Amino acid sequence: MLLLDITGFIGRFHPLFVHLPIGFIIAAVLLEWRLKDGRYQKAISYLWFLSAITAGVASLCGWFLANDGSYANWTLFAHRWLGILIAVVSLYAWYVRRDPNPNARSKKITNVVSIAMLAVTGHLGGNMTHGSDYLLEYAPTPIQKLMGYGKTGNDLPQFTDPDSVMTYRDIIFPTFEKKCLGCHNDNTQNGGLNMASIDSIKLGGDGGAVIISGDITSEVLRRVTLPTSSAKFMPTSGTHMTYREVRLLEWWITEGADYNSSVSTLTADESIKAILMSRYNLDLTPRPWIEKTKISLPDSATFADISATGIKINAISNSNGWVEISNHIGSEVTSEQLSSLSAASDQITWLQLPNSGLTDDMLSNFKALSNLTKLKIQGNPITSAGISQLENLSNLETINLINTKVDDSFFELLDKMPKLKSLYVWQSDITSDALAQARIDYPDIEIVGGIEN
Binding region for ligand HEC (CB under 6 A): 70, 179-180, 182-184, 190-193, 204-207, 210, 219-220, 223-224, 232, 234-238, 241
Residue 173 Cβ vs ligand HEC, minimum distance, rounded to whole Å: 11
Decide whether 182 or 321 has the Cβ nearer to ligand HEC: 182
Residue 236 Cβ vs ligand HEC, minimum distance, rounded to whole Å: 4
Is-contact 393 366, C-beta < 8 A?
Answer: yes
CA distance 208 to 222: 14
Decide whether 230 or 260 has the Cβ nearer to ligand HEC: 230
CA distance 28 to 78: 25
- Report the candidate in 125, 128, 132, 107 with the shortest Cα–Cα distance to residue 47: 107
Can the peptide bond before residue 162 be classed as cis, meaning omega within 30 degrees of 0?
no
- Report the candidate in 443, 438, 440 with the shortest Cα–Cα distance to residue 413: 438
Residue 194 Cβ vs ligand HEC, minimum distance, rounded to whole Å: 10
Is-contact 246 201, C-beta < 8 A?
Answer: no
Residue 208 Cβ vs ligand HEC, minimum distance, rounded to whole Å: 6
Decide whether 193 or 341 has the Cβ nearer to ligand HEC: 193
Decide whether 211 or 396 has the Cβ nearer to ligand HEC: 211
Decide whether 183 or 325 has the Cβ nearer to ligand HEC: 183
How many residues are listed for the chain in this entry? Answer: 453
Decide whether 242 or 340 has the Cβ nearer to ligand HEC: 242
User: Buried (b) or exposed (e) across 415-440, using 16+ Cβ within 10 A?
Assistant: eebeebeebbbbbbebeeebbeebee
Residue 232 Cβ vs ligand HEC, minimum distance, rounded to whole Å: 5
Is-contact 17 41, C-beta < 8 A?
Answer: no
Residue 32 has phi, psi (to 5 degrees) of -65, -35
CA distance 166 to 213: 16
Residue 48 Cβ vs ligand HEC, minimum distance, rounded to whole Å: 36
CA distance 376 to 326: 9
Decide whether 187 or 285 has the Cβ nearer to ligand HEC: 187
At position 114, the amino acid (one-letter code) is S
Is-contact 224 253, C-beta < 8 A?
Answer: no
Decide whether 60 or 221 has the Cβ nearer to ligand HEC: 221
Residue 169 Cβ vs ligand HEC, minimum distance, rounded to whole Å: 17
CA distance 420 to 352: 17
- Angle at the Cα of 140 from the Cα atoms of 136 and 146, rounded to 5 degrees: 70
Residue 195 Cβ vs ligand HEC, minimum distance, rounded to whole Å: 7
Decide whether 179 or 374 has the Cβ nearer to ligand HEC: 179
At position 421, the amino acid (one-letter code) is K
CA distance 369 to 362: 13
Residue 130 Cβ vs ligand HEC, minimum distance, rounded to whole Å: 14
Decide whether 23 or 207 has the Cβ nearer to ligand HEC: 207
Q: State which residue has the least CB distance to ligand HEC.
A: 205
Residue 128 Cβ vs ligand HEC, minimum distance, rounded to whole Å: 11
Alpha-carbon distance values, 381 to 236, 246, 453 (Å) = 74, 59, 21
* Cα four-point dihedral sign 439, 442, 443, 449: negative
- Report the candidate in 271, 195, 272, 197 with the shortest Cα–Cα distance to residue 234: 195
CA distance 425 to 402: 5
Decide whether 85 or 246 has the Cβ nearer to ligand HEC: 246
Residue 246 Cβ vs ligand HEC, minimum distance, rounded to whole Å: 9
